[in-house]
Amino acid sequence: EEDAETLRSWLSDNRVGGFAFDLETERLYTNGDLAGQVIGFTRFEDNKLKGVLGLEAYYNSKLNGEPGYRYARRDNYSNHGTVPFSIPTDQEPVDGSDMYLYLNLEMQEALQDELEQIAGVAGLSSGVSGLVMDVNTGGILAMGQIPTMKSQSPFDLPGGIDPQHWNNDLDEMTDQLSLQVWRNANVSNVFEPGSTMKAITTAIAFEEGVVSEETQFSDDPIDVMTHEISCVYKTGHGIETLREAFINSCNPVFVQVGQRIDMDLFYDYVATFGFRDKTGVDLPAEGNTIFHKQPTILDYANLTFGESVAITPLHMARAYAALVNGGYLVTPMVVKEFVNSDGTVEPLIPAEPVQIV
């Protein structure tokens, strides 16, 4: 506005005509690069804001509202007036709503600090992500990743990326941003879950009553279809309880746990824990999981300790929530409620949690 007033005064003082000043709507983001991929950003297009990523894109019409209009029949005479006795059609404009999130700023800051430390220690500029979710409601309290993104200036050099590895050519930079930065890793990217899957394997075994915490196993290498599966510690741990195998993260033990459960039944549990479908989170571009359609015995053995499959971090978070909330599969949600222009509150009611175990 200050620049506009300066220009307006100059035009007036110098009697320069032919210029008009139009107001443009702008969204301001005041939290730097916190949850940038969750919030997303907007661009000004066709005289209005348009959400491009994240919540801005997912709830674009709710945030921006709808313009008003009037349709009427008009004649072809010089005055181009409305045809007498014709009934015009009016649509009143709808103001956009305010959006309130489950995100907790302090948790978001703590999560981002932790992710930055992990990335620094591991020497990583990407592939580091995390989230915090309320296990009972599915409310997303924090969600972040490295590299970060600023919603206010999404084309800036992302946090966590070495400037030497950044291409400033606009086309190349846009490709880098689309693939490495703007994409919400927690929602869209899949990864091999590894040992985090062992908790799911154990929960299924407990539910079927085939093992207890004190059941003993040998962690000697085990052959499955001529493929040897061994503990990461080549010397092994000998005979140990399931509790100890969990602490030591011994792959052969979890293969044996899986062998006590029918393979088809185990894969049914995989679907029960929500790994076969999208979570339903209110964010765009949610990725789906990758499992074998016709698994072999070796595929199944690898699955028991989290290899040869791919899931999103959000899928695993939801499954873990079910382990500790009494066995309910929740729907992750970022938006808590909208407050409309007339002051009415419109809470977003997530799907009823489904009891799975």
pLDDT band at 357 (very low <50, low <70, confident <90, very high): confident
pLDDT tens-digit readout, 110-149: 999 999 999 999 999 899 999 999 999 999 999 999 999 9
pLDDT over 70 (residue 88): no
**Among candidate residues 256, 280, 289, 301, the one with its CA nearest the CA of residue 354:** 280
Query: Is 69 a residue whose pLDDT tops 90?
Result: no
Residue 152, Cβ density class (10 Å: 0-12 exposed, 13-18 middle, ≥19 buried): middle
Residue 272 has pLDDT above 90, yes or no: yes
75 or 27, higher pLDDT:
27
pLDDT score of 95:
87
Provide the pLDDT confidence category of residue 80 given band limits of 50, 70 and 90: low
pLDDT average, residue stretch 339-357: 92
pTM score, whole prediction: 0.87
Mean pLDDT of 278-293: 96
Kindly state the average pLDDT of the residues 232-236. Answer: 88
State residue 42's pLDDT score.
94
- In this predicted structure, what is the pLDDT of residue 82? 64
DSSP string, 119-176: HHHHT-SSSEEEEEE-TTT-BEEEEEEES---SSSTTSPPTTS-GGG---SHHHHHHH
Q: What is the pLDDT of residue 27?
A: 87
Query: Is the confidence at residue 109, as pLDDT, over 70?
Result: yes
Question: What is the pLDDT at residue 154?
Answer: 93
> Residue 216, SS3?
strand
Looking at 42-51, 298-307, 339-348, which range is the least confident one?
42-51
Q: What is the pLDDT of residue 242?
A: 98
pLDDT of 350 reads: 85
pLDDT digits (tens, 9 = 90+) for 147-180: 999 999 999 888 878 787 777 777 788 888 888 8
pLDDT > 90 fraction of the chain, expressed in percent and rounded = 74
Cβ atoms within 10 A of the Cβ of 9, count? 10
Name residue, tokens 């084309």: 155
Q: What is the pLDDT of residue 68?
A: 64
Q: Is the pLDDT of residue 78 over 60?
A: no
Q: What is the pLDDT of residue 143?
A: 98
Region class of 199: left (phi > 0), else alpha (psi between -120 and 50), else beta: alpha
pLDDT band at 56 (very low <50, low <70, confident <90, very high): very high
Q: How far apart are CA 48 and CA 45, in angstroms?
A: 5
176-208 confidence digits (pLDDT tens): 888 889 999 999 999 999 999 999 999 999 999
Contacts of 225 (CB under 8 A, 6+ apart): 296, 297, 298
Asked whether residue 79 carries a pLDDT value surpassing 60, the answer given is: no
Is there a contact between 93 and 48 (Cβ–Cβ < 8 Å)? no
Q: Calculate the average pLDDT of the chain.
A: 92
* pLDDT of 72 higher than 70: no
